[in-house]
Amino acid sequence: MKNIIKTAALLILGSGFFYSTNAQKIQVVNGKSIVNPYYSRTNTQILKIPNSTWKKVLGGDLYSVSRLGETEEAFTGKYNQFDGKGNYFCGACGNALFRSDAKFGSTCGWPSFFEPIRPKSVIYKKDESYNMVRTEVKCGRCDAHLGHVFDDGPKPTRKRFCMNSIALEFEPLKKSQN
Ligand SMILES: [Zn+2]
């Protein structure tokens, strides 16, 4: 799968007074800008959206990884060698997933974290594909595939959340939060 850099832009819809919690997102799908109405950084309501609908609002690589469970090529993801300070959100729905201070320099080829931002940010599912038994990590809000978790991470959790950059979206901390 090609590693296409997503060119989505954020757009706050509404007046900013009445709809400030309904931040939606423009995602580029087949060269067209499409509003993702399920995207929110503040709404934690669980989403049950069929893939046929997601396909209309998510771009190619994001759809392939988050909805079809594909894996980006090792060492190609934009967050693999990246140490910006901030938070990582689900690229499909905007759910907060990881803090940069839980990210560590793994050599596995994908961005790795030792814990999620909140226990319920992610959910776990047994994955027996490719003749392996692994634990799949999915978004706790929209059920997007994010990656897998392994027991060979650093202290304090010894976990390695091995994530696809394509499924994540990084938001740097504002200067006042540093
Ligand atoms: Zn999500």
Helix, strand, or coil (residue 59): coil
Q: How far is the CA of 144 from the centre of ligand 1 (A)?
A: 5
**What tokens does 108 get?**
């596995």
Q: How far is the CA of 173 from the centre of ligand 1 (A)?
A: 20
Segment 72-101 mean pLDDT:
96
Residues having C-beta closer than 5 Å to ion ligand 1: 90, 92-93, 95, 139, 141-142, 144
Confidence of residue 178 (pLDDT cuts 50, 70, 90): low
- Residue from 90, 139, 142, 162 carrying the catalytic annotation: 162
- Each residue of 5-34: pLDDT tens digit? 333 333 333 333 333 345 678 888 778 888
Entry pTM: 0.84
Distance of alpha carbon 123 from alpha carbon 130, whole angstroms = 21
CATH superfamily, region 1-178:
Peptide methionine sulfoxide reductase. (2.170.150.20)
Q: What share of the chain is helix, strand, coil (3-state, %, to 5)?
A: 15, 30, 55
Q: Do residues 56 and 63 touch, judged by C-beta distance below 8 A?
A: no
Q: How far is the CA of 177 from the centre of ligand 1 (A)?
A: 24
Q: How far is the CA of 46 from the centre of ligand 1 (A)?
A: 9
- Each residue of 102-160: pLDDT tens digit? 999 989 999 999 999 999 999 999 999 999 999 999 999 999 999 999 999 999 999 99
Q: Is 162 a catalytic residue?
A: yes
Stronger pLDDT, 16 or 67, i.e. the higher one: 67
Distance of alpha carbon 108 from alpha carbon 121, whole angstroms = 23
Stronger pLDDT, 174 or 74, i.e. the higher one: 74
The answer for residues whose C-beta is within 8 angstroms of residue 95's C-beta and 6 or more apart is 44, 89, 121, 139, 140, 141, 142
- Which residue ranges make up each domain of the chain? 1-178
